[in-house]
A = this chain, B = another copy of it.
Amino acid sequence: MVQLDLRFANKFVSLHEVDQFQPVIEDAHRRLHSGQVPGADYLGWLHLPSEVIKSGYDDLTSAAREIRESADALVVIGIGGSYLGARAAFEWMKPEYYNQLPREVRGGPELYFAGNHLSAAAQKDLLRVLEGKRVYLNVISKSGTTTEPAVAFRILRSWLQQQVGPDEAKRRIYITTDAHKGALKELSDTEGYRTFVVPDDVGGRYSVLTPVGLLPLASVGVDIAAMLEGAANAEEKLNTPELSDNPAYQYAAVRNALYRKGKNTEIFAYYEPSLKMVAEWWKQLFGESEGKDHKGIYPASVGYTTDLHSMGQFVQEGYRNLFETVVRIENPVSELTLPSTPDVQDGLEYLAGKPLAFINDQARLATQIAHVDGEVPNLLLNVNDQSARSLGELFYFFELACAMSGQLQGVNAFNQPGVEAYKINMFALLGKPGYEQQRRDLIGQLEQPAKG
């Protein structure tokens, strides 16, 4: 299981401070499990892993097998929670440059993510790389009307229809959407697209273990059974209100203790480049859950040791509102040792023959000590390895920790009211029918002169 090591935090948060969260956590745990928290309509993730395992997912596996066997390239169209989990797991599990490896090494299709921006340049770059390939699409959108994926789906569907004709295009499109309603559900019923369901009681940022994440991941050969087992294991182990037995609740408690002392930026730090998108997934999970009512911890991330040479100075000596959460892989995937090259005077010959994994982990330890000396509290999360199972554990760990942290912060951890503000402005500026008054108001506002 994921373990939380507080040795680099206890200069800043005493054990008794953490213990004082026990009664509040006990109460919040009970309310979470009895559906008595704000946003209780979105608690489906709480027992999702065990329920998915129990109910099975043969449909999904067989669709994934079909894609895996037939597609040269799978394009996953989705944004926010409809892509970050799958991408995080993909990069965690698969080698860098995966798409450049020969098909026989990959064993499945190339994988691309689309529909997560509005850039024409990026869209054209994607079309160019897809040229001549047998392309399948998986569109993921609960409503079917989110602008970015809808735009990409229009472009990619039209392109696909031109390439292979409308009938073959139908066979290559898989839709993950609402069970009963919405634009994509209606279209799927008309066109006969294969569909998968985004459950009603699981919000986007908690959806990686639903078909939203599972279908693309299974299609590129990720062992989703192991991932679900890991998550179910965490679901079981973390189903206790006892702080001393629950590292997810400890994490929630410590970050809230730090926040109350003015540490309002949390830096998620990792030492394997392949964790980059896990950090992005984590940022959505925590930022979107907690950033409301003008409060919350700002979620940032750094990839070390890379960013020790860019952000390292600031973390060591800059403005002191920071703390770091380091996700450490205890048993990294690959063994590779430093070659002996006595003719190079780089000062590293004393390390010849040592595994890179050793050097990397000492750099991690050295940095945690240095940052603590620099007054930056450090939390350390130990994850066993970079397997699908460990990632399942980690996903559930963070989901539960985030839900608890939201209770400690006193927010609805499951809604995201703030994302509507720009959308209303955008529809008005784009001239969407029904937004005429907002359009007039905005244009008037934009024409006001600057104050002196």
- Given A153-B344, A154-B341, A297-B319: A118 and B271 within 8 A (CB)? yes
Which listed residue (B150, B274, B351) contacts A121, Cβ 8 A?
B274
| Cross-chain contact A339 with B154 (CB below 8 angstroms) | yes
Q: Which residues of B contact A350 (CB under 8 A)?
A: 430-433
In the complex, residue of chain B having the shortest beta-carbon distance to the beta carbon of A296: B318
Chain A 78-110, CB-CB to B under 8 Å as 1, else 0, gives 011100100000000001110111000000000
Chain A 176-216, CB-CB to B under 8 Å as 1, else 0, gives 00000001001100100000000000001100000000000
How many monomers of this protein are in the complex?
Answer: 2
Q: Is A290 at the interface (CB under 8 A from chain B)?
A: yes
Q: In the complex, A272 Cα to B118 Cα: how many Å?
A: 8
| Cross-chain contact A335 with B120 (CB below 8 angstroms) | yes
- Chain A interface residue count, CB cutoff 8 Å, equals 144
Q: In the complex, A392 Cα to B419 Cα: how many Å?
A: 35
| Cross-chain contact B345 with A144 (CB below 8 angstroms) | yes
Q: In the complex, A99 Cα to B98 Cα: how many Å?
A: 12
Q: Is A298 at the interface (CB under 8 A from chain B)?
A: yes
Q: In the complex, A99 Cα to B362 Cα: how many Å?
A: 33
Q: Is A306 at the interface (CB under 8 A from chain B)?
A: yes
Which listed residue (B14, B343, B418, B430) contacts A362, Cβ 8 A?
B430
- Given A121-B386, A339-B154: A295 and B318 within 8 A (CB)? yes
| Cross-chain contact B362 with A426 (CB below 8 angstroms) | yes
Q: Is A408 at the interface (CB under 8 A from chain B)?
A: no
Q: Which residues of B contact A15 (CB under 8 A)?
A: 450-452
| Residues from 222 to 280 in A contacting B, C-beta threshold 8 Å | 264-265, 271-274, 280
- Given A273-B119, A316-B422, A362-B426: A81 and B308 within 8 A (CB)? no
Which listed residue (B280, B319, B360, B375) contacts A295, Cβ 8 A?
B319
| Cross-chain contact B332 with A119 (CB below 8 angstroms) | yes
A interface, by DSSP: helix, strand, loop or mixed?
Answer: helix
| Cross-chain contact B292 with A318 (CB below 8 angstroms) | yes
Which listed residue (B120, B296, B314, B336) contacts A314, Cβ 8 A?
B296
| Cross-chain contact B450 with A334 (CB below 8 angstroms) | no
| Cross-chain contact B318 with A290 (CB below 8 angstroms) | yes
Which listed residue (B81, B126, B157, B296) contacts A96, Cβ 8 A?
B126
Which listed residue (B100, B318, B343, B362) contacts A129, Cβ 8 A?
B100
| Cross-chain contact B322 with A298 (CB below 8 angstroms) | yes
A143 → chain B, closest Cβ, in Å? 9
Which listed residue (B96, B148, B288, B294) contacts A305, Cβ 8 A?
B148
Q: Apart from A97-B125, A118-B359, A154-B348, what 9 extra A-B contacts exist at CB < 8 Å?
A: A79-B305, A120-B355, A147-B359, A158-B339, A291-B318, A312-B419, A316-B419, A363-B426, A366-B426
